[in-house]
Amino acid sequence: MTTYKDRLGAGTGKLTLAEILEIMAGDDLPVKFTAYDGSSAGPDGAAISIDLLTPRGTTYIATAPGELGLVRAYVSGDVEMLGAHPGDPYDLLVTLADKLNFKRPSPRVLANVVRSIGFEHLKPIAPPPQETVPRWRRIAEGLRHSKSRDADAIEHHYDVSNAFYEMVLGPSMTYTCACYSDADTSLEEAQENKYRLVFEKLRLQPGDRLLDVGCGWGGMVRYAARQGVNVIGVTLSKQQAEWAQKAIAEQGLSALAEVRHCDYRDVRESGFDAVSSIGLTEHIGVGNYPSYFTFLKSRLRTGGLLLNHSITRPDNRSGAAAKGFIDRYVFPDGELTGSGRLITEAQDAGLEVVHEENLRHHYAMTLRDWCRNLVENWDAAVAEVGLPTAKVWGLYMAGSRLGFEVNVIQLHQILAVKVDEKGGDGGLPLRPWWTA
C-alpha cells in the first residue's frame, strides 16, 4: 500500500487537502481538520476542529498564504470553527499560536502541493466585502492621514452600528482600555475607574476646561461634565457624535458638554486646562506625531496637562504600519510605535513628560469582557450587522486579547505638562497626586 508520505517522497500523486496541511504544519496538529474532499487530519478527540467547506476557501488560502487567506475563508463562511464560539475564538487562537508551526517544504514537494491543489485555485478572487482595499491602493488614491482619508478610515471602523457597539461595549459605550482594581472588577466599574484615573491625572476641578480629542461616544466628556468641568469632545465618526450628543442631552449635561463631528485639527479654541486623548494616536500616523503634539500643546494654557492614552508596540524598532487582517478588516492606515517614540515626540514638541504607565494586562481583561458581551448578545449582534462582520469583531477582539497577553502590543498612558519659558509647571505636586 502506498501512503501519502511515499507519494510525497516520490514527488508524485495527488495529495488530499488534509495531507497538504500535514506537509505544511506537521503530523502533530493541535486541532482536528476536515475538508470538503473527505480528508481529515489531527486528533479525533480534539476539543476544537476546523472544517474547510468549499473550493473557494482553498482559493482564498492558496492565493494569500498566512493569516489573510484564512481570514478571508473564515469571514466568507468557507471555513468553520467547531468547539470555539465565533464571538470569542480565543481558545482556538491560543491553541494555534502555541502548537502550530508552519514550515516551507522542499521545491519538489511544493510543486506536488501546487499540482494537487490545482492551478485554478491559484488565481486570486475578490475578497469578502468586509475587507478594505490594500494599502498600496489607498496610497495611490489619496494622501495617507489627510483629513478626508482619516475620516474614511474612522468610518470603516466606527460607523458599524451604534446598536452593535452597545451590545459589545456595554452601558458605558467606552471603546478603550478599562482599568481594573482586581480580578473581580466588572467591566463597567473598570471603565468608570479609567475615567476617574484620567480625570485625576489631569487635576481637573469644577469650572475647568477640558478638550477630549477622539472622544468616541463621549464617555470621558460625560464623566468630566458630571464633575462640573466644561468639556468639548471631537470625533470623526458621525454616528458617535450623534449618539454622544443625545446622551449628553438625556443626562442633563448640555450646559457643560459638547461633542462635535470634526477633525481634532479643526478645533479653534485654546487655553484649555487639560487635553485628553484616549485611543486617538493609533489613527493619526507616526509621521504626524510632531504636528499632533504641537497642536495639542497649542490648545493648552501654560501649566495645562495632556494625557495621551494609546496602544503601543513593546519596542521602538518595529515597523509602524499594521499588516494583514488588522489593516484590511479593522484599522485601515492604523500605525503603532513604542512608548519611547511617543515620549520623545511629546518632549520634542516642548511638553514635559511627568509620568507614564503601561496598562497592558488591563486591556487583555477589557477585551475578554467585550468578547463575553458579544457571545451573550451573539444572535442580536448578527441580526444587526450580519454574520461576517460579527465574526470579524470576535476574531479581532480575541486576537487582540492574546496580543496583549503575550506582549506583542501594550497600552501606555503618558502624562505631560505645558511649561513656561522658565520651566514653570503651574505648581504640580512633587509626587503623583492620583489614586491607582
The percent of residues above 70 in pLDDT, for the chain, comes to: 91
Pair 84, 164 in one domain? no
List, for residues 244-287, the tens digit of each pLDDT value: 999 999 999 999 999 999 999 999 999 999 999 999 999 999 99
Q: Which residues of 247-277 are buried (b: 16+ CB within 10 A; e: fewer)?
A: bbeeeebeebbbbbbebbeebeeeebbbbbb
Provide the number of structural domains found in the chain. Answer: 2
Domain boundary (100, 116, 132) is at 116
Pair 92, 163 in one domain? no
**Is residue 222, in this structure, part of any structural domain at all?**
yes
Q: How far, in Å, CA of 436 to CA of 432, rounded?
A: 10
What is residue 393's predicted lDDT score, i.e. its pLDDT?
96
List, for residues 385-432, the tens digit of each pLDDT value: 999 999 999 999 999 999 999 999 999 999 999 999 999 999 999 999
Task: Output the nine-digit C-alpha cell for 405.
Answer: 497577553
Of 131, 137, 201, nearest in space to 355 by CA:
201
Which alpha helices (H) appear in 142-288, and where do they start and end?
147-158, 162-169, 187-201, 219-226, 238-250, 281-284
List, for residues 202-223, the tens digit of each pLDDT value: 999 999 999 999 999 999 999 9
**Is residue 423, in this structure, part of any structural domain at all?**
no
Pair 112, 151 in one domain? no
Q: How far, in Å, CA of 58 to CA of 35, rounded?
A: 10
Pair 274, 347 in one domain? yes
CATH number of 300's domain: 3.40.50.150
Give me the domain span that covers residue 16. Answer: 4-116
Helix H or strand E encompassing 117: helix 107-117
Mean pLDDT of the chain: 91
Pair 109, 176 in one domain? no
**Is residue 63, in this structure, part of any structural domain at all?**
yes
CATH number of 31's domain: 3.30.1050
Pair 41, 96 in one domain? yes
**Is residue 426, in this structure, part of any structural domain at all?**
no
Instruction: Tell which wins on pLDDT, 95 or 298.
Output: 298
Pair 175, 39 in one domain? no
Q: How far, in Å, CA of 131 to CA of 60, rounded?
A: 13
List, in sequence order, every residue forming a beta bridge with 32; answer none if it has no partner: 49
